[in-house]
Structure 1
Amino acid sequence: MTDTHQSGAGESAGPPGPAARLTELDAEQLDVLRGVGRAWGRVSASPQEWRRALPVDPDLGAFPPAAQLRPARFERLVPLSPLGAASPGEQVDTQEPAAGRLGRAGAWLRRHVLGVPLRSSALVSERMRKLVALPVLSADALSSVAYGPEAMLTVLVLAGTAGTAYSFPVSGAIVLLMVAVGLSYRQTIRAYPHGGGSYIVAGANLGPVAGLVAAAGLMTDYVLTVAVSIASGVAAITSALPALAPDTLVIGVAVIVLLLAGNLRGIRQAGALFAAPTYAFIAAMFALIVAGLVDAAGQDFRPRPTPAVTVTESAGLYLIMRAFSSGATAMTGIEAISNAVPAFKPVEWRQARTTLTWMVGLLIAMFAGIVVLIHLAGVVPRGAETILSQLAHLSFGSGWVYVFVQAATAAVLLLAANTAYNDFPRVLSLLARDSYAPRVFMRLGDRLAYSNGIILLSVAAALVYVAFDGRTAALIPLYAVGVFLAFTLSQSGMVVHWWRLRDRHWRKSLLFNALGGLLSSIVFLTAGISKFTEGAWVAIVAVGLFLLVTLRINHHYTAVRESLRLRPQTVELPGHTTGGPGPALCAPDSSPAAPARTVSEGGENEEVPGEIRHLSVVAIASLDLAGMRALAYAASLRQPVLALHISLTDQEAERVRGYWTLWGDHLPLEIVVSPYRATVAPLVHYIEALHRQHPELTLTVILPEIITRHRRHQLLHSRTAPRLRRALRSVPKIVITTVPFHV
């Protein structure tokens, strides 16, 4: 069985993960499959005989359609009864028993930190209204005003007063960029109403390599979103509590560990609960801006003198472009709404466009307001205190309002870091679906989260955070490269999209996207060149390595698909199951001469071969060479055989049944449609239900297994058999066996 895919689209906050993708058979393979079916008919018992031999009823019911699932008010998980449960509320614990003292301690820690495995739960998508979607999807973008203006000023102040004089022109250019990119993403929403992230848009319009480069920019962006947001959040905390400044690295890493544990638990509260920190931050920023403007009005808006700073550079074009690229990081996260269009209530694309307009308007108002306050207050960046903290001190002193501003800033920055935990694993699962990343990243864990992607993001973000000493200013040069690389490719892809489509108003849409792509490319090139020695080279090298690794992975998967392809004279057939030597095919207990046997209440009492009665269950993912070899092996045992396929969509189930009929329907096939989570959990439920039907049966679960020539390539393939063994270890009379296929 392959690892899971989930129904959804884009790198979004909507339904999780990519849609199920069963490899379609071309005309040549269909002819081979038809010929193999005829050959099976000559050596195998009739389909009716195989069905009569089944000792169980394979129809164990079905999971409810996703449309019928309704979560509680603040939940996204709906408990489901396992297939074949005796009562509607019955749950089956398939957690493997822990062995030894250390094993029990680890199991206790896992259960209490990560929670009880959700093996019978469905993940449903939230449909958000605009007032909820705005704070949930805009946290990353809106929180960036906490460090964007300061990043710009940190560069300009290198030229002293002459440099800070350019703060207004540079800010004006950034605001123009925000408007242009915001308008261009409105066009993206209209063109991709099911979610159009940079990877999808660039790949569909510019080709796979461009899509991979965009994905590399996104992945870099998400890693740095965690690192930068936590660095800024910790800076807000240490500004209010200077005594904690020496512990910056420890606090930041501890926050990453907390985010890791929280996301591995997999339970996302409804958007309404996440809205509070963002709205609190918006209120704090506007309170700060209004209070600062009122104070300035009392002084006739005369700017306060700027403290003396050491001049290290001249105020030239190079410095201004560096400041522009640093300040433009205030736009990070602006594409999140275009990714999450399916998460909105109907009409989805209209709601998404309206929410995007609100977000851009708020972003511009807060960014411009903070820049004006910086100019009027005459503050400059200081290592021990952030710009926002200085402004809040000037307006509110050290009272509770100041504490509220700092707490709201820290909270929204940490929330922005958590946004990356939603998007990074989804992009990785999309890449895995398209065979550009190991398929292990499509797997949902016990808590319905992409656990492997979450762990990878946490490790990468922690390494980056520690390597740059948790300093926001040191991380910003890396940040702009990935963000605007993805922006540039996404908008360039949209230009090609409109040029090909040429529907109504296509020229206006193309113009908006072309302007957004041009300005984004300017920022990308400026950041890459001007900040190359300051750390941007790390992001550029990371993109290159990402492209190399993903292409090599895809090359391996392509070679494996070619090896598994159905071809004439390559499909194995079972030995004769009709006539000839050996026992005739029959169901257990169908013969009146069958020996008596007993099954103890807690396990097995079988000491001789004649007392064992078999049922072979072949878990088949697709009708390729590996799958056909597993079927032939099972049939050659001359014991009852049941083929089982876990489908993630009704369309996939229909396609599999069509292929099975074309093959000749030689063996009984049961298809379970499970569009909610990993394929392994429904498989476990199904095997347990069969065991409950006939506890005296020995169930042998047979799976095809890919064996690679190089051990490093084995990491690219699923390890379903060990996972099944762990899950079913406590159930008696279950045997897991694999049929190897070497490539």
Structure 2
Amino acid sequence: MRKLVALPVLSADALSSVAYGPEAMLAVLVLAGTAGLAYSLPVAATIAVLMVAVGVSYRQTIRAYPHGGGSYIVANDNLGRVPGLMAAAGLMTDYVLTVAVSIASGVAAITSALPSLDPAAVPIGLAAIAALLAGNLRGIRQAGFLFAAPTYLFIIAVFLLVGFGLADAARQGFHPQPTPQLTATEGVGVLLIMRAFASGATAMTGIEAISNAVPAFKPVKWRNARTTLTWMIGLLVALFAGTVAVVHFSGVVPRSSETVLSQLAHRSFGSGALYVFVQAATAAVLLLAANTAYNDFPRVLYLLARAGHAPRSFLRLGDRLAFSNGILLLSLAAALVYTVFGGDTAALIPLYAVGVFLAFTLSQTGMVVHWWRLRDLHWRRSLFFSAVGGLLSALVLVTAAITKFASGAWVALLAVGGFVLLTMRIRSHYDAVNKALRLHTDAVEVPIGLPAGSVPEDTAPASTGPAAPTGSQREAAAATGESEETPRAIQNLSVVAIASLDLAGLRALAYAASLGQPTLALHISPSEDEARRFHEYWDLWGDHIHLEVVVSPYRATVAPLVHYVETLHRQRPELTVTVFLPEIITRRRHHQLLHSRTAPRLRRALRELPKIVITTVPFHV
């Protein structure tokens, strides 16, 4: 992406938080009445300093990780497995709440303009989540002007609000307007100010998006990414500080029935076209911000699954080249959170800060370790910036955990702890299964009496693509059908689908070969390099059975397997093809969810073809 496109696309999450971050801060300060609101400018200034510090520290991350350096990758590389999983937990919590909070805030913008829709806020939000789910399952990508426009329109809308508001304040000599009569329910104290600070700091969510997406930029990638990050931080500080300043001078206070931005727009523009523009731009950018989580959440799940900390089903791409399982999980989690909290932005905010700043803290702490180990040119300066960003992020994390614990932060802390425990258990299970499946020299018995030439040369289809059946082949298929009634009438070919050379795979090969029928092995490989490695393993094993390798670069397994068997059936319709699949059987039923369910999917896909048999060969662990 060019910088002009990357800026709005990757900054939508961070910049859209101006719609709820300042309001969340003010909603805490207003509890102390006018005396509490007097602290809005100092607290906002502190948050702006924090934004700059964290932004500068992420510039160092981009330089160190030019291929993309999310919190999970940085923490895992430099701090170890458990901190990496904690960072991943913070990110996953952040992404779920990004969807829930953005949708809740977007719906609030709509109901502020159309109060009659307020009773239907939860159904409207759920419908928006369903729309995001459907769009992302079909492979929508955030690129181009279509996705850049909402962010630019929102930037224009907020700058119009700030400009009109400051101009009006200048005419009044910058004297704050009196606020409505307020009843203080709390006194001004350190705890109240800390709570307000933690709430307002949620405006920083999404800052790390650019460091995650460095490979998406045009060359020079890391330099363009750093420039874009600088522009994003500058815009975020300007929009956040400008909004708080205008609220301070206008005397607007948070109300449950109307958002702060809507109140400011009403004061400046009335109820005309500019007011509608502000509300529409706000709702649009919040919807786009929710959609950014649909790119990042499945990607983190993919990285976890690749490391064995999540079910392997999250490695698989769908037909539209989207991580369908991760997208479904995110939608269900966000819909559940949104419904449980009634679509109320104020109720969701306390959960937000913990995940955001846990990821920030671990990422920047990891960068401190990285620079200390590397010690390259300018490492001291980079270490200093990363240390400052990490320290400030840790202070916000502790503040949010303490001051918002009873308000809902305990849910986020519990979710992080449960996530780390679950992922460690999943990795432990996979390690135990891998140990049970690992080949041992004394335990391997290869099939005897089946040389590589046991499969006729014209039996296996070319792995480069299907050949169209000839007219005689169609006639033969129609004539033979499934009319064989004696064993001698059946011409059998065994195809063993083998993912890796382990004990389960060899058991399936041995079983198929023991039947004395022509047999070939079929391996679906995610890359040419992996295919070459598998061929080398096969040669070491002894090349006892003919091997076919199909490269599937999107990690799809069932579709290439179905495609191969269909092609085989068209080329040799007289054959009865038996597909053998190794199947891991676990002692505990819930562990079965962590292993492939290829056989049922393959049966459903091939049930229309005659003379295809699917057989599973169990291996108990």
Structure 2 Cα separation of the partners of residues 288 and 561 of structure 1: 60
1:266 to partner: Cα distance: 2.4
Q: Tell me which amino acid in the other structure corresponds to 2:562.
A: V
**Cα distance between partner residues in 1 of 2:256 and 2:37:** 17
What displacement does 1:655 show?
Answer: 1.3
Q: Is the 8 A contact 1:448 1:677 kept in 2?
A: no
The answer (yes or no) to whether the contact 2:490–2:575 under 8 Å persists in 1 is yes
Q: Which moved more, 1:475-484 or 1:675-684?
A: 675-684
CA separation in 2, counterparts of 1:588 and 1:299?
91
1:244 aligns with 2:117: yes
Match status 1:683 vs 2:556: no
What's 2:262 paired with? 389
Q: How does 1:286-685 map to 2 (within 5 A)?
A: 286-574=159-447, 576-577=449-450, 587=456, 599-600=477-478, 603-685=481-563
- Please say if residues 573 and 629 of structure 1, whose CA atoms lie closer than 8 Å, have aligned partners that are also in contact: no
Match of 1:209 in 2: 82
Equivalent-residue separation in structure 1 for 2:520 and 2:449 (angstroms)? 18
Q: CA deviation at 1:298?
A: 2.3
Matches within 5 A, 1:154-165: 154-165=27-38
Q: Measure how far apart 1:570 and its partner are.
A: 2.1
**C-alpha distance in 1 between matches for 2:167 and 2:329:** 47
Report matched runs for 1:38-437 at 5 Å. 128-268=1-141, 270-437=143-310
Paired residue type of 2:527: T
Separation in structure 1 between the aligned mates of residue 201 and residue 477 of structure 2, nearest angstrom:
71
* Cα displacement (A) at 1:193: 0.9
Return closer, same or farther for 1:693/1:413 CA change in 2, 3 Å cut-off.
same
- Are the counterparts in 2 of residues 203 and 212 from structure 1 also a CA contact under 8 Å? yes
Give the drift of 1:679: 2.2
- Partner amino acid, structure 1, of 2:269: F
Alignment pair present for 1:732 and 2:610 = yes
Give the CA deviation at 1:274: 0.8
Is this contact kept in 2: 1:444–1:451, CA < 8 A? yes
In structure 1, the residue matched to 2:573 is 695
Quote the Cα distance in structure 1 between the aligned partners of 2:605 and 2:315.
19
Asked whether the 8 Å contact 1:614–1:700 carries over to 2, the reply is yes
One-letter identity of the residue aligned with 1:621: A
3-state DSSP of counterpart to 1:218: helix
Q: Matches of 2:480 and 2:185 in 1, distance apart?
A: 80
Instruction: Report the CA distance between 1:587 and its aligned residue.
Output: 4.3
Change (3 A) 1:623 1:300: same
Residues 1:577 and 1:617: Cα distance change in structure 2 (over 3 Å) = closer
Contact 1:139 1:412 survives alignment (8 Å): yes
Answer with 686-695 or 486-495: which moved more.
686-695
Q: TM-score, normalized by length of structure 2? A: 0.94
Structure 1 residue 741 and structure 2 residue 614: aligned? Answer: no
SS in 2 for 1:569: helix
- The farther-off stretch of 647-656 and 175-184 is 647-656
* Alpha-carbon distance in 1 for matches of 2:143, 2:70: 23
- CA–CA distance in 2 between the matches of 1:186 and 1:206? 20
1:512-554 deviations in whole A, cap 9, x for unaligned?
1110000000000000000000010010011111111111111
In structure 2, the residue matched to 1:63 is none
Partner of residue 719, structure 1: 597
Q: CA deviation at 1:684?
A: 1.7
Matched position secondary structure for 1:160: helix
Taking only aligned residues, the RMSD between alpha carbons, in angstroms, comes to 1.8
Counterpart code for 1:416: A
Change (3 A) 1:666 1:141: same
Residues matched between the structures, number: 605
Report which structure shows greater RCO (CA 8 Å, sep ≥6).
1
1:295-331: CA deviations, max 9, x gaps? 2222222221122211111211111111111000000
- Tell me if structure 1 keeps the 8 A contact 2:579–2:614: yes
Confirm or deny: 8 A CA contact 1:599 1:605 kept in the other structure: no
Q: CA deviation at 1:440?
A: 1.7
- Residue type of the alignment partner of 1:341: V
Q: Any conservation in 1 of the 2:446–2:544 contact (CA below 8 Å)?
A: no
Q: Judge conservation of contact 1:586–1:639 (CA < 8 Å) in 2.
A: no
Quick one: which amino acid aligns to residue 410 of structure 2?
W
Give the secondary structure class of the aligned counterpart of 2:322: coil
In structure 2, distance between residues paired with 1:433 and 1:244? 44
1:486–1:671 CA distance, 2 compared to 1 (3 A): same
Q: How big is each residue's C-alpha offset from its partner over 1:42-89, in whole Å with a ceiling of 9 and x where there is no partner? A: xxxxxxxxxxxxxxxxxxxxxxxxxxxxxxxxxxxxxxxxxxxxxxxx
Deviations 1:663-685, CA, capped at 9 Å, x for gaps: 22222222222213412222222
Q: Match of 2:478, SS?
A: coil
Residues in 2 aligned to 1:572 and 1:662: alpha-carbon distance in whole angstroms: 14
Q: Deviations over 1:76-126 (max 9, x none)?
A: xxxxxxxxxxxxxxxxxxxxxxxxxxxxxxxxxxxxxxxxxxxxxxxxxxx
Aligned residue type for 1:199: Y
Amino acid of the structure 2 residue aligned with 1:176:
V
Does the CA contact (< 8 Å) of 1:572 and 1:629 recur in 2? no
Larger mean CA deviation between 414-423 and 444-453 belongs to 444-453
Distance, in Å, in 2 between the alignment partners of 1:374 and 1:599 is: 77
Please report how far the alpha carbon of residue 601 of structure 1 lies from its aligned counterpart in structure 2 after TM superposition.
5.7
Q: CA deviation at 1:585?
A: 5.4
Indicate conservation of the 8 Å contact 1:571/1:629, yes or no. no
Instruction: Provide the identity percentage.
Output: 75
The change in CA–CA distance for 1:139 and 1:684 in structure 2 (over 3 A counts) is: same
* Counterpart amino acid of residue 726 in structure 1: R
Q: Distance in 1 between matches of 2:145 and 2:502?
A: 47
Question: In structure 1, what is the Cα distance between the partners aligned to 2:176 and 2:510?
Answer: 84
Structure 1 residue runs of 5 or longer lacking an equivalent are 1-127, 579-583, 591-596
Kept in 1: contact 2:450–2:544 (CA 8 A): no
For 1:688 and 1:631, locate their aligned partners in 2 and report how far apart those are by CA, in whole Å.
21
Specify the SS of the correspondent of 2:594. Answer: coil
- Give the deviation of 1:173 after TM superposition: 0.8
Provide Cα deviations, 1:229-249, integer angstroms capped at 9, x if missing partner: 111001100100011111111
Q: Which amino acid aligns with 2:488?
A: G
> What is the match of residue 462 of structure 2?
none
Higher alpha-carbon deviation: 717-726 or 689-698: 689-698
2:472 aligns with none
